[in-house]
Structure 1
């Protein structure tokens, strides 16, 4: 280039220049190549070049240049002066390096690196989703997953489960199907903001309904401002998407993308998202869509598994609880019963007990154990229990009963082996006579005058395996004698021999300080059953001393009862609290009786399942806990207009401090009865 010519006239170009730019020496010399430099050069770049030429110094810069055909290309431009012998600069050499190939390769490499990073981020995201789903009892697991998606791949997200109607879901623990009468096609229902489903709705015209019914398995896009038939699933989503409680911020657009949350046999709900850029489903790249689909599928699988486990667990537990008898009130005897399944064995097993009022003066006590911790074990236990009860009322002598049971069980082909202890207590004037027979079960304990003795006579084979006559042991009981029946879960541990467990139980039983059956049982449990490795069933029978009355003790101040959900349990609970207050020497028993009556009445009237009653002496009052299977909290009302009742919790509030908490089985309502005020002395 000639520096003497204004604009640096081109005087020569090589063949490479012509090939890259499309300008040969003639056209370049004619000035047409000026378009090459001007086309994509900024004012700042042009000023830099002018300053370099004026100063006579070299310069390198990357520019976007234009070819003769109008196309552009990135180029590294180096401008260097050529000084003459006298030092004057008359010519400049300009070198161009086409960077198209280099930048293309670099861009491709960067794109590959970014794609790999994105895939790793998405794999990490799926791993985080899996971690959050590990704890199915977390009440906020689904909400956390939705917020994780918001922070990483979408602008807004929420889960809606279809439990006889769509509802926002924060966690998995609340996803059990709603009982009662559901809507016809299971869409809009079961939230405070729900809109009833219209009877005239036609499912075939609704894209979201098609997802819920499994007619479509690909995500659909809906416009929240679109026109939808009243009561349709799309209408419900359009109204509720973006307003889910606990989800931060409004949706970034008015177009929602809806993914199905599939279970094994049906679609369980929806994952609703809004793209981050406010766009449509087309703005979600394939990797993001894969993440959302995998997330929805994993959530659906976990929810389905949780519900399946919950159904089977409740079936097994209900079966076993239905087979277990309630604590019997026996005239002339103090009886306490306890059963606790091992939580590690899905809370179902083959342990059972029975307290039978065979005749006015004959009481039967049975405790047994069927091998196993599953529904089959519970079913075998139920069959065996029914057979034993039937023959106990008919034959009455323990050995003869077991001989008949051996015969019929052998023909029934029950798949599980079982052991049991059957005993009868017969009133003889002022005392009781004990008869018992054992079929492959641990012996009961007799505690008399501080000494525990195993009732090891009359032993025999497991039930159903007896081939000959069985023996009956006999013993005359005295006032204040205690019988402790138990299953091996009370004493069996992996780190000790069963015989050592028997010795530990005998030692504990011989040193109990309680004087009532419930207190003795609680003291035994507190020392031996803190961490049981198997199901535990215990029956404590105490022969009262009519002359001694009720004695206060220093034993454990806790009592527990399992009551059926029926009105008769209210009276039993009142009797239990009065008897406990008397045994513990507590005042204010009348208030405690009234409080426990109201709490148990509420559990019977408004709850379902078995009712659990627990009493604890806390040092500053009596704490009462009542548990039932209804998770809904208690409500204080002003009564029911037009009918009697509705004031129960108001009565509790006047007599006690109270509250409630959720439990794995439902809820626990507790109350601490305030101590009775001390009498005032002196004049008023």
Structure 2
């Protein structure tokens, strides 16, 4: 392979002497041999495939690069027509072109604009560039062809053309710029988006596309690009040639030279105005629906009444996820005789279904509580209500307690609800003692209650799980955290409204990110009555005048003579009912506040009296009608031993 002609003498192909003689001059054989050797070295050192043909198109000389490029051994090429190296479809045209070149005899440089192809021995074609040089020899014209494989370059050009077509046909605006921000490329979509033609905008600074008040942002972005940083999906405002503002999504990335140095930047800009408008419409619709849902929620929850003597602070925060409605509720129920019912509950789940169940249970619980029934009885009744709702797997936690200021007690029954905390007692925050009962909806549960003495002025803290249950946290730790917050705050006599805000801020610092609705209720126990008295009487007729005497003496001692007549009349009626229709002993309990006098008569009969209209000939049946007419308020509540009938008069 190192010898061009192998064993065949150079003169045998009729070329060497022609190549080595200038203007037909003959030289000595030694000189010819030396120049022949030098010619061989130059031919083999050429980086391109070299093919030398005569005026008949016969291959006279080739180098090693020709063998490597076309896959032929040189013995297979020498003496063969040059068309052997040309695809079949071009051979006829090539013969004409070759004959024409023999007449023209001009040097044709590499890459002269012709689309040329070569043919390998294995039949594969490949793109080539060919330079031609005529050589005049004593034996006639020889043509030297330097053949270069441009497959890689052609593939790169095709790829570049494809990418250029993609960029130009992109629906997104694409532009290039220098690191100083001057525009160097502008595709058709950029013209459609901004309104500028390429001629109008190339060479101008990119800040022309930003609103006046946002042009400082351009400098910041250019600096980030100079540092080689890519900026992805940056949403901002841009301005068209008519001054119209556009919401756009911009992706920027630095362009680099072959050394990796940042030399410029490209940008893809997408118009997101339609998306922004749709988002705004969806947000408005969501807010409207959320407002409707919250209005429904508040309607279902109701507004607990203000109860004289009972200071409260309540907070309800709907869940920030979904419809914003849920199953939390609370209620305050005035029970009469200074007693107050406090109710809090949580229907498991979220959304309108939970809210609907909550609304039904709240109404039922309020009505049941107004009858004066005890907490355990109310829970038993609510458990039946949940079963009757026929909602599969529906569970409800609930807690009902009755505050009795005259007795200084709180009676509580909890159906699986979180513990109630007691603050402001001077002994630290602690849990209110309550029996452990299953949630409502389990069925077959006998609910238990307990009573605890709590001094007036103490604050009960009731809450739902949304306040303390957070992902990844332990509920006991969160209750301890709540206890600590309350302990630190209830060092004196704090405002309950301020306390409620403080608790929420401490437990839920991110007010816009909680997955469950949150209810918090603080209730401060009323002050004890100014005075109380009690006595016990047998169920005999003589107990009526004895009870009147007891009341007369108490009213005199309390300086309440103005209400004595009505009080004595109503006590006579209630005592007479107890003596005639119930069992003894009969308890009479009196309590006085700054504004009210309350009288309670308790007996051992579970039958609750009902007011009725007596006929003209009846001598009885008018007692409760009188109580109803003269008392500020009155009622009957069941007790474990029987019932208590009470009435209140204004002082």
TM-score class normalised by the smaller sequence: 0.3 to 0.5
TM-score if structure 1 supplies the norm length? 0.41
Report which of the two structures shows the higher radius of gyration computed on alpha carbons. Answer: 2
Structure of greater relative contact order (alpha carbons < 8 Å, 6+ residues apart):
2
